[in-house]
Chains A and B, each alone.
Chain A
């Protein structure tokens, strides 16, 4: 059984000014297996974040099903952890307070919470920053914390909404590399939304390419690149370029946003 299944998902909304019904998601079906890293890629405005928001339970869908381990989901829940582009950390909580938040909500005792937090902070490279507040961290560190805050809860599936999109190019490379290492160590199930083709291919086991709005699945590509992956080795692999060129063509080549950071 797949960890996450998205079946015939459709989303329409009513424009408040014109009263027209606008289709946002035409028909999207794909699934993610346990321990699999799947990216959803598409031109900006194609509705990929809408798909993620529906899976997260933040917004309703018009038709279709979202199943986690075969069970239909409604509303947000700790089985689906979300890493936001805007990181959405709690500014009034320390690094430790942010990381232990989900465990506290679950009722995990303090000692256990802090032990789990120490492991995760070590994993994302934030040991020693426990007492800092989010505003005292750099953008890259904030996003590591956003990742740690979700990883520590061991959700069934991690939903990542363009987490590196607003981070400078060099730090982004480093974060992608680190995310790959973390993924290879822990094997969480990941649903990753991005508009960066290189990022999608580098990180993923499979890439789901969405068409422009109303979005449908244009193609699903198996990324057959060896793990562990490093940027240096992966970009030299001719298959990496084949994948990215193929996806570029699929997206219409000229789509400037698909290449932009």
Chain B
């Protein structure tokens, strides 16, 4: 056996070399620059007052002010800490639950109507009950983040497990994989494309839930900063907080989720379902 059929062409996204990635980053920023330019122009031409909508420079000033006073660090720290705890709790609860449901047709048939029902309610709608149970503060906000993420992550994990070809599981079993080892060796990696999708959707829900819960339930965090600025008619801080919330989400997506996807799902040639 000397000759070998040639390797298949790699399907899917190929990692781009340095310069290309750089130009990609530039193109990512361009729409935002345009948006800011239009914003500046519209406010300037129409003569809108800061009471209604701030000028770009007002927002930059507000940002500088928040940074200088330490408010920015305080709000950012509080929000990120709650987000992190809520997200970790969601991952360690939703993925095992999803794998259990996905590998048992009976369990998933029983729970799937409940799951669909809960996806619609997840997150924000739970804020009143969360504050009743847990009071105003960190715990209620963390509960909301967990809750907002849990159902989307569970749902996508179930889907991921169910999409693993039966032959793949059979192959593992016929090579002596038994019991819980199947979970670690086959179900978890096999479901990963869908789990990553669930994580992305879930983090989006969680992030929104976080801001909403902070508006109502706390005295620190980006949501609270928004709320406080509104009561003081400080549109500069309102927009500055919104910008921070949006930018943080983009960073989370680009620095956390995209590399995770590149290193696993894309490397393995398993396309993420979305």
Which residues of A approach B to under 8 Å, CB–CB? Answer: 56-58, 75-78, 80-82, 84, 86, 88-92, 101-102, 105-106, 123-126, 129, 132-141, 149-150, 153, 171, 174, 178, 181
Contacts and interface: CB of A to CB of B under 8 A. Distances in A.
B170 A76 contact: yes
Nearest to B265: A92
Nearest to A82: B174
Contact of B6 (A58, A80, A81, A138): A138
B176 A88 contact: no
Contacts of B4: 125-126, 141
A72 B234 CA distance: 80
Contacts of A58: 170, 173-174
Contacts of A76: 170, 173-174
B260 to A, nearest CB: 13
Contacts of B268: 91-92, 133, 135
B46 interface: no
16 contacts: A58-B174, A76-B173, A84-B167, A84-B170, A84-B171, A90-B168, A91-B269, A105-B175, A105-B176, A125-B4, A133-B267, A135-B268, A135-B270, A139-B8, A141-B4, A174-B5
A35 to B, nearest CB: 20
A140 B269 CA distance: 17
Nearest to A59: B170
A137 B6 CA distance: 8
Contacts of B29: none
B270 A92 contact: yes
Interface in B1-60: 1-8, 10-12
Given A90-B168, A90-B171, 11 more contacts: A82-B170, A88-B167, A105-B176, A105-B177, A135-B10, A135-B268, A136-B7, A137-B7, A138-B8, A141-B7, A141-B8
Interface string B228-271: 00000000000000000000000000000000000010011110
A136 B177 CA distance: 25
Given A102-B175, A133-B269, A88 B170 contact: yes
Interface residues of B, number: 33
Contacts of B113: none
B186 to A, nearest CB: 7
Contact of B176 (A106, A123, A136, A181): A106
B257 to A, nearest CB: 18
A178 B7 contact: no
A101 B185 CA distance: 9
A181 B3 CA distance: 14
Nearest to B166: A58
B70 interface: no
B175 A81 contact: yes
B87 interface: no
B124 interface: no
Nearest to A78: B176
A140 B175 contact: no
Contacts of B6: 138
B269 A134 contact: yes
Contact of B5 (A102, A134, A138, A153): A138
Contacts of A124: 1
B91 to A, nearest CB: 19
A135 B269 contact: yes
Nearest to A146: B171
A125 B168 contact: no
A242 to B, nearest CB: 30
Nearest to A161: B167
A82 B189 contact: no
A127 B193 CA distance: 29
Contact of A88 (B11, B165, B177): B165
B11 A135 contact: yes
B8 A136 contact: yes
B190 interface: yes
The 8 closest A-B pairs by CB, nearest first: A135-B269, A102-B175, A88-B167, A78-B176, A92-B189, A105-B176, A125-B1, A76-B173
